[in-house]
């Protein structure tokens, strides 16, 4: 079981993890169940950075200093993930712009290793909006959205694979569907939802609703265009889910 957590850490972060020489497909597939736990690690690290930076100066951070701090927090966020999901976002943006209404062409563009205009624009906009949201949240010492964004985004992966066909043969997505039963995925998602409501009350519910709305929109787009999900669209979903939670946090009192 702990090997599956290590696989999740290895896939979702750049934290050095020591794994056995032979890791079974079952261990790899069941790593999906640990994604919310990895999200908690992200949340704790990001909030800790924000608190540390906010208390470096006795009078708190100025707007200019907050810009720099927000950029540093975002930099750590991207480096920790290895920009893995940003790559999926870029590939998905290129595919949606260039694929028309043709599912095969859309899937083909996703496999292209070159970044097009859609990828550059999508990644830039997401990072810029994350930076601006972080600026507001850190300046006002509102940490709930920063803590929950990586948790809810990684929990959405479980919901995606529990409800959406995987359209590519082979790969990690197939292992997830083979070795994780839908009821297990639903149970973990339900535990995350209950924990968010218990610990964060109304604010947590608002952030949950923003995440669910974004999930619904993205899943609908996937089904309409390609009939399901791929690794790239899962990565894109994770990025926009993080963004939606951060943006919702900006408007919380």
DSSP code for 229: B
Residues 81-92, mean pLDDT to the nearest whole number: 93
Is it the case that residue 92 has pLDDT exceeding 80? yes
Domain residue ranges of the chain, discontinuous segments joined by +: 39-250
Least confident of 4-8, 22-26, 162-166, 231-235: 22-26
Compute how many other C-beta atoms are within 10 angstroms of the C-beta atom of residue 1.
Answer: 8
39 versus 168: the higher-pLDDT residue is 39
Residues 210-232, mean pLDDT to the nearest whole number: 95
**Residue with token string 């850490």:** 9
Is it the case that residue 19 has pLDDT exceeding 90? no
Is it the case that residue 249 has pLDDT exceeding 60? yes
Is it the case that residue 59 has pLDDT exceeding 80? no
Q: What is the pLDDT of residue 25?
A: 86
pTM: 0.94
Q: What is the pLDDT of residue 57?
A: 57
Least confident of 6-15, 153-162, 215-224: 6-15
- Token pair, residue 72, equals 């540093």
Q: What is the pLDDT of residue 240?
A: 97
Q: How confident is the model at residue 141 (pLDDT cuts 50, 70, 90)?
A: confident
Q: What is the pLDDT of residue 177?
A: 81
Q: What is the pLDDT of residue 24?
A: 86
HSE value, Cβ hemisphere, 13 Å, CA-based, for 209? 9
Dist. CA 148–CA 163, nearest whole Å: 22
Is it the case that residue 31 has pLDDT exceeding 60? yes
- What's the CA dihedral at 156, 157, 162, 165 to 10 degrees? 120
């Amino acid at each position: 079981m702990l090997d599956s957590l290590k696989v999740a850490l290895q896939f979702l972060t750049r934290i050095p993890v020591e794994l056995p020489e032979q890791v079974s497909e079952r261990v790899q597939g069941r790593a999906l169940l640990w994604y919310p736990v990895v999200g908690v690690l992200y949340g704790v690290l990001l909030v800790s950075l924000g608190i540390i930076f906010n208390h470096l100066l006795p009078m708190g951070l100025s707007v200019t200093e907050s810009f720099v701090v927000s950029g540093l927090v975002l930099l750590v966020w991207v480096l920790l993930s290895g920009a893995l999901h940003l790559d999926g976002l870029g590939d998905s943006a290129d595919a949606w712009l260039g694929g028309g209404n043709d599912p095969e062409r859309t899937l083909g563009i996703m496999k292209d290793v070159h970044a097009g205009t859609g990828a550059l624009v999508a990644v830039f906009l997401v990072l810029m909006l994350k930076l601006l949201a972080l600026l507001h949240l850190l300046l006002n010492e509102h940490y709930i959205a920063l803590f929950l964004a990586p948790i809810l985004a990684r929990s959405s992966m479980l919901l995606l694979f529990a409800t959406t066909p995987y359209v590519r043969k082979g790969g990690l997505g197939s292992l997830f569907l083979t070795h994780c039963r839908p009821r297990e995925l639903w149970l973990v998602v339900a535990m995350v939802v209950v924990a968010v409501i218990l610990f964060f009350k109304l604010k947590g519910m608002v952030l949950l609703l923003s995440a669910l709305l974004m999930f619904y929109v993205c899943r609908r787009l996937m089904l309409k265009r390609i009939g399901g999900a791929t690794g790239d669209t899962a990565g894109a979903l994770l990025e926009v889910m993080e963004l939606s939670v951060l943006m919702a946090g900006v408007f919380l009192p």
